[in-house]
Amino acid sequence: MDSISMSVVSTLKPPTAITVAVVAVSLITGYFGFRIFRFMKHRASLRQKVSNRQAEREKNFEAVKRLAEKVGVDAVRREAIIRMTPDELRTALRQREVKCQEVLAAYVQTALAVNERLNCVTLFVLEAFDRALELDNNATDNTYDFPNMFGIPISIKESVQVRGYDQTLGYASEIGNKADDNSKVINLLLDQGFIPFALTNVPLSLLSFGCKNPIYGTTLNPFNPNRTCGGSSGGEGALIGGGGSIVGIGGDVGGSIRIPAHFSGICGIKPSHLRMTTNGLRGSIPGRPLVNASEGPMATTVDMCAKVLQGLFVKKMSKMDPYVPPVPFADDLYNSTVPLKIGYYVDDGYFPASVPVARAVEEAAEALRKKGHEVIRFQPPRIPEVFGLYFSALFIDGGCYISDRLSGDLFDPHHLQIILMPYLPKWLFAPLLNRFGPKAEPMTHVLGRTLSEQRKVYAAIEGYRHEFVKVLQSNGFDAILCPPNAGPAYEHGLPDQLAPTISYTAIFNLLDYAAGVVQYSFVNDDDIANNADFKETDHFTKILKRSISTSKGLPLGVQVAAPPYSEEVVLRVMRIIEEARDGH
């Protein structure tokens, strides 16, 4: 090596620690800066999609308003149509006292007004007016065989597949992904003569019993705008409870039909997953066995719910979806007069029902007794333990899927706990939750498990199903009566803080039972006074008690459940309770 080269080499010194640190920090800063830039750019593009959708929504509302006005239904006739009971409306349509177009226009105009107040409709189905015209034309043929629900408008939860419309589930990234075809349930509803006319709001991801998303905003309770309408079929509950629809289709994986029915003062039923096709239903987490979502009717009357299931539980459903057994609706069970034996409870041993909810269940139990049925108090087995199994089965992958979906979309700050869930070790996550008391323990089961642990979860669920059947059979119970939630409708934001209260509905998803809710009473002055004696045992009961103190006037539902393929029994008990409520 020459002298010049030696001189150059001698001047090269190893980098100092400071230099290495500066380079490392620069690289790390650059990397995270780039990631943040991409994240912010992606969120900006999603916000633009939301802005575009909101403009489209306004145009959709204006278009449907013009279509309704074109029909020419005056205010007096509109009011007369809206005031008809479901049975009166069916008769008037079949006897051609009113046209399908008139009924549709009346409900569209009413739904627009309800939406102004409650923000429950995402989009209207503009093609509904073409269908109404087609049905009116069909009815001019003297040989026309009227379908059972000829001309009845029906609203649809946004997550149910309707041709030409997207099912966003509240995700901005799903805007514009329109369905190529209807779900199987929608096609069966069309066979019955229904007219799908409105799509209704849902919470982001569907995994909430509130009703808010970044696309369409927050849906309000029809009885108190400061309270939630429930979720995830919250838009349905609000629209029907507000008088803008008489019947709709919701979905339920933990109470998503029943809680909105309870909060919004209507009725609804979750069929057993085994008996109802889910082809065309967008669920919250795909690939999840044992705990599955079910579509079901929500309505102003129990009999309307029954009529929907009469048209869905047909052989054609099994032909369309061979995984659904051909079990037709049993009218003899629904209309039976044989006395029933019913077990009931107001405290599941995990989360005690609030004063007003417990009172409503006790009064419904007494009403059933007066109708000649045997109603006996019992205690459901091991709810605190098996509620954890529900969360294990619901978040089958430890929350990875839902975390990925939320983190790639427009989420609220309170979603951060869900987004971070798959990345938190159990030794850290469990103590964070458990500081809220024993009621938080089941929610620690959302964390990931090994395949061996997951197999044990499934085995435990199957074992519990057999155990629960044994309890019912040993007592001779035909059905169960219980609360639909620990409290009535909560203030906005509280559902995220009161997840343990869904134990009353989630248990029947875990069991895959048929379960329905019917409104029975309202929170009264005595309930508010007696709420002072409700025991605050932890963080959750303290929140519940505070919420009850300002809940006067809110509706109170009661829940009825029975084993799979017993939807007719559930509906029968619901109808008896409804009749007792109305003084029949």
371 annotated active-site = no
Determine if residue 493 is labeled as part of a ligand binding site: no
256 is in an annotated binding site: yes
CA dist 97 → 78, 142, 180, 443 (Å) = 13, 15, 36, 55
pLDDT band at 17 (very low <50, low <70, confident <90, very high): confident
Q: How far is the C-alpha of 17 from the C-alpha of 446, rounded, in Å?
A: 44
Q: Which of 159, 205, 208, 232 is the catalytic position?
A: 232
Q: Which residue has the tokens 């999840």?
A: 288
Q: Which domains does the chain have, with CATH numbers?
A: 60-389+455-583 (3.90.1300.10), 397-445 (no CATH)
Whether 163 contacts 254, CB under 8 Å: no
- Kindly report, residue by residue over 121-174, the tens digit of the pLDDT: 999 999 999 999 999 999 999 999 999 999 999 999 999 999 999 999 999 999
Strand 195-200 and strand 153-157: the pairing is parallel
How confident is the model over 39-49, as a mean pLDDT? 92
DSSP 557-581: EEEEEESTT-HHHHHHHHHHHHHHH
When pLDDT is cut at 50, 70 and 90, the band that residue 35 belongs to is: low
* Torsion from C-alpha of 544, 547, 548, 551, nearest 10 degrees: -150
* Strand blocks (E) in 167-326: 195-200, 212-213, 217-218, 247-252, 267-270, 294-299
Which of 227, 210, 209 minimizes the C-alpha distance to 490?
227
CA distance 425 to 448: 9
Residue 388 has pLDDT above 60, yes or no: yes
Lowest-confidence segment of 11-25, 143-157, 306-320, 562-576 by average pLDDT: 11-25
List pLDDT tens digits, range 69-128. Answer: 999 999 999 999 999 999 999 999 999 999 999 999 999 999 999 999 999 999 999 999
| Per-residue pLDDT, 280 | 80
| CA separation for the pair 353, 312 (Å, rounded) | 34
Is residue 427 predicted with pLDDT exceeding 90?
Answer: no
Q: What mean pLDDT is predicted for residues 536-549?
A: 97
Q: Which sign does the torsion angle of CA 412, 413, 416, 417 carry?
A: negative
On whether 311 is known to bind a ligand per the annotation, the reply is no
How confident is the model over 260-281, as pLDDT tens digits?
A: 999 999 999 999 999 999 888 8
Among residues 157, 212, 270, 439, the one annotated as catalytic is: 157
Give the mean pLDDT of 347-362. Answer: 99
pLDDT in tens, 394-420: 999 999 999 999 999 999 888 888 898
Is the predicted pLDDT of residue 4 greater than 60, yes or no?
no
Binned at pLDDT 50, 70 and 90, residue 9 comes out as: very low
More confident residue, 196 or 427: 196
**CA–CA separation, 478 and 563 (whole Å):** 9
Q: Which of 308, 302, 272 is nearest to 290 (CA)?
A: 272
- The pLDDT value recorded for residue 584 is 87
253 annotated as belonging to a binding site for a ligand: yes
- Establish whether the linkage from the previous residue to 232 is cis, with ω within 30° of 0: yes
Burial 462-478 (b: 16+ CB within 10 A, else e): eebbeebeeebeeeebb
Give catalytic status of residue 318 as yes or no.
Answer: no
| Residue 327 marked in a binding site | no
Summarize the confidence of residues 229-236 as an average pLDDT.
Answer: 98
pLDDT at residue 13 in the model: 60
Residue 378 CB partners (closer than 8 Å, separation 6+): 343, 344, 345, 471, 475, 477
| 22, 43, 422 from 36: Cα distances, Å | 20, 10, 21
503 a known binding residue? Answer: no
Q: How much is the pTM?
A: 0.94
Residues 45, 136: Cα–Cα separation, whole Å: 44
And the tokens for 4? Answer: 């010049």
297 Cβ contact partners less than 8 Å away, ≥ 6 residues apart: 247, 248, 249, 250, 268, 269, 304, 305, 308, 309
Percentage helix, strand, coil, to 5, in the chain? 50, 15, 35
Lowest-pLDDT range of 26-30, 248-252, 480-484, 560-564:
26-30
Which of 256, 392, 503, 551 is an active site residue? 256
Does residue 8 carry a pLDDT above 50?
A: no
Nearest to 442 by CA among 510, 391, 395, 511: 391
* 232 labelled catalytic: yes
Confidence of residue 531 (pLDDT cuts 50, 70, 90): very high
